[in-house]
Amino acid sequence: MTEFPHARRSAFQVLTGLFSLPPGARVGIGPVIAAAILVIIVLASVMAPLYVPYDPLAMNAMARLKPPSEEFLLGTDPYGRDTFSRVMTGGRVSLLIGVGAALVSVTVGLFIGLVAGFFRAADSVIMRIMDSLMAIPAILLAIALVALNGPSLGSVIIAITVPEIPRVVRLVRSVVLSAREEPYVEAAIALGSSMPKILIQHLMPNTLAPLIVQGTYICASAILIEAILSFLGAGVSTEIPTWGNIMAEGRTYFQIKPGLIFWPGLLLSLCILAINLLGDTARDLLDPRMKKREG
């Protein structure tokens, strides 16, 4: 039989295709710096256990509130724990929560959104549920979950994800609503394609680009909300250092040891700034008006 090498593109090709630069479009220096900063922070956080000099939880009564020195790079906190070790390790949980919340809300939101957009009967019911979910503030939900289950990573991710899901659902639904009116979707119906097939093969690829952009924003805001929750004491248990709870603990000593808030705060801000910048760049690149037709 005849070979059709390009008849199906792999998911990888689809993804690289999405990000291939259209001819003429230029990415400024900003996004490149942002990407570099993000890569450094992520690598540094992930590999933290390999290089940090102290156990981030090990208390040392002899070394309370030390200033930065060769021994303690960024000084120590009131319990004598090494700030540098804690901040670098804390990034792991913060980033995990960011990425986790983004993935969960995008996946769940994509599924619900596809169904809501395509099936009119389901739409009105689903959207009313989404409206009510939107009314729940993340912080109240987190406090409730922590009160019920105790502080855990899972509770925090759920608390952050739930209010994000309706936003993703609305986005996906609006894309599907306009795409389903396209004649090629009607042609697929006429060709006898089943509903799941139409949803996944014809409609879902249209939602991919806006979802990637939305995902980066969710990731950034999740990291921020985690910090707020920890600050309020409704976040991850204090035994696991995160940027949020390091700052929460540091606030009582803010005046004598500003570094306790400054360093985790700096990393947090850089991280969020970088992610948002990359999200904006992705939005510009994926905008069909900016993207020349491939081929």
Return contacts of 68-76, CB within 8 angstroms, 24+ apart: 68/259, 74/259, 74/263, 75/257, 75/259, 75/260
Instruction: Using the rule CB under 8 A, give the single segment among 52-60, 99-107, 195-203, 254-262 that binds another protein.
Output: 195-203
Nearest approach in angstroms of CB 170 to another protein is: 19
Q: Which of 205, 266, 269, 290 binds another protein (CB under 8 A)?
A: 205
- Closest CB to another protein among 193 and 276? 193
224 φ/ψ angles, rounded to the nearest 5 degrees: -65, -45
Q: Which of 4, 51, 62, 239 binds another protein (CB under 8 A)?
A: 4
Scanning the structure block, which residue is given the tokens 């922590």?
Answer: 146
Q: Is 75 left (phi over 0), alpha (psi -120 to 50) or beta?
A: left
Site for another protein in 7-36 (CB under 8 A): 7-8
Nearest approach in angstroms of CB 280 to another protein is: 23
The identity of residue 243, as a single letter, is W
Give the x/- contact pattern for another protein in 80-119, rule: CB under 8 A.
Answer: ----------------------------------------
Nearest approach in angstroms of CB 206 to another protein is: 8
Q: Which of 11, 29, 184, 289 binds another protein (CB under 8 A)?
A: 184
The identity of residue 108, as a single letter, is V
Distance CA 155, CA 148 (A): 10
Q: Which of 11, 26, 50, 293 binds another protein (CB under 8 A)?
A: 293
69 φ/ψ angles, rounded to the nearest 5 degrees: -155, 180
Q: 76 has which bridge partners?
A: 82
CA 264 to chain centroid: 18
Interaction of residue 192 with another protein, rule CB under 8 A: yes
Nearest approach in angstroms of CB 7 to another protein is: 5
Cβ contacts of residue 134 below 8 Å, gap of 6+?
Answer: 163, 166, 167
By CB under 8 A, name the binding residues for another protein: 1-2, 4-8, 124, 182-184, 186-195, 197, 202, 205, 293-295
